[in-house]
Amino acid sequence: MKNPIPIAVTGAAGQINYSLLFRLSAGELLGPDQPIILRLLEIPAAMGNLQGVVMELRDCAFPLLHDIVITDDPKVAFIDVEYAFLIGAKPRGPGMLRSDLLEQNAEIFAVQGQAINAVASRQVKVLVTGNPSNTNALIAINNAPDLPSHCFAAMTMLDHTRALSQLAEKTGYNPQDIYRVCIWGNHSCSQYPDLRHVRFTQALSIEHFDADWNLNVFIPTVQYRGTEIIKTRGQSSAASAANAALLHMKTWIEGTRDHDWVSMAVLSDGSYGIDEGLVFSFPVQVVGGQFQIVQGIAIDEFSREYLDRNQAELREERQAIKHLL
């Protein structure tokens, strides 16, 4: 039997984790012969709920689930972890301004960044899902000065799979036959789902999509999918978000397939004219556990406008929390 690998998950009593924790425990991230230890972080008020989730996890008798640690102390949660899913965040309450949400959640990610810096594995992969995820990742990076920034990414994988799904529906192809979809920018309604570089395994090309469908159907459907889910389901995306978190981390570990890329929000190195020091979603390729921003993609005027809008929004978010950087 291999040594168990610790995985930290925050917001463990929340709805995304009601799917994610079970899938991690079933071996969907690290494979069928790799035991894991779940290190679960919650706030004291949610500890009762978390106890119930832990009872259910134990009731599944997962052979790979070696142990479960629950805590409200980030310095305990992140000890030696190689993978960390930062999912816990405060929801936007009634009458709360976006800036209030930004401020309150920002503090959570400052504290957690410091704890990861102090006690996590030096090779840790940290996926930030809690919103506003790009800026929360930026805060975590800045509060973990002993770790390289490539230990951190924010999640735009759900937007990416939403885009894939729209294209699959439109073309009749299986999503796995579609390559090079990409989400640029912020995980917000400003994001830019880009189909201009899409390739198919079959003889269909991008010319089959008219500009009108792109502008009026594809882009807004992906941008506002989260809002539509809330309207329709009465709650925000949970199982699909858990699926995306799993897929993001799995791709980060195992790599992207040949000739393809995925979307990850990572610290900009100035690529495509995006300020260094913003966490921005780019197309990335992953090899040997390291992501690289794909270079050399042509950005036309149409795309540039979206990229600039996202950059402006992320600059504003960064300005609002600059005291935490």
Residue 76 or 238: the one with the smaller Cβ distance to ligand NAX is 238
| From candidates 21, 57, 126, 130, binder to ligand NAX by CB under 6 A | 130
- By the rule CB under 6 A, 241 interacts with ligand NAX: yes
| From candidates 140, 158, 246, 279, binder to ligand NAX by CB under 6 A | 158
In angstroms, how far apart are the furthest CA atoms of the chain? 56
CB of 6 to ligand NAX, least distance (A): 17
CA pair distance 28, 253, nearest whole angstrom: 12
| From candidates 5, 7, 8, 13, binder to ligand NAX by CB under 6 A | 13
Among 82-90, 170-178, 190-198, 254-262, the segment contacting ligand NAX (CB under 6 A): 82-90
Among 213-221, 230-238, 252-260, 284-292, the segment contacting ligand NAX (CB under 6 A): 230-238
- By the rule CB under 6 A, 133 interacts with ligand NAX: yes
Per DSSP, which regions of 15-141 are E strands? 36-41, 65-71, 83-86, 125-128
CB of 44 to ligand NAX, least distance (A): 9
Among 40-48, 54-62, 115-123, 143-151, the segment contacting ligand NAX (CB under 6 A): 40-48
List the catalytic residue out of 150, 160, 187, 208.
187
Contact 110, 118 (CB under 8 A): no
Could you please report the per-residue DSSP string of 160-191?
HHHHHHHHHHHH---GGGEE--EEEB-SSTT-
Q: Nearest CA to 314 among 219, 190, 221?
A: 190
The H or E element spanning position 314 is helix 301-320
Q: Check if 66 is active-site.
A: no
Among 63-71, 236-244, 278-286, 300-308, the segment contacting ligand NAX (CB under 6 A): 236-244
- By the rule CB under 6 A, 88 interacts with ligand NAX: yes
Contact 16, 83 (CB under 8 A): no
Question: Residue 132: is the preceding peptide bond cis (ω within 30°)?
Answer: yes
- By the rule CB under 6 A, 16 interacts with ligand NAX: yes
User: Binders of ligand NAX: how many residues, by CB under 6 A?
Assistant: 27
- By the rule CB under 6 A, 42 interacts with ligand NAX: yes
By CB under 6 A, what part of segment 168-207 binds ligand NAX?
187
Residue 162 or 180: the one with the smaller Cβ distance to ligand NAX is 162
DSSP assignment letter at 218:
I
Residue 124 or 209: the one with the smaller Cβ distance to ligand NAX is 124
Q: Nearest CA to 318 among 168, 103, 172?
A: 103
- By the rule CB under 6 A, 46 interacts with ligand NAX: yes
Could you please report the per-residue DSSP string of 223-250?
HTHHHHHHHHHSS---HHHHHHHHHHHH
DSSP assignment letter at 4:
P
Both tokens of 54, joined, read 């832990």
Kindly give, in sequence order, each residue whose CB lies less than 8 Å from that of residue 186, ignoring residues fewer than 6 positions away.
132, 134, 265, 280, 281, 310, 313, 314, 317
By CB under 6 A, what part of segment 91-120 binds ligand NAX?
91, 108
Q: Nearest CA to 260 among 176, 186, 191, 156?
A: 176
| From candidates 37, 43, 69, 168, binder to ligand NAX by CB under 6 A | 43
Question: Which residues contact ligand NAX (rule: CB under 6 A)?
Answer: 10-11, 13-16, 41-43, 46, 87-91, 108, 129-131, 133, 155, 158, 187, 236-238, 241
Q: Which residues are catalytic?
A: 187
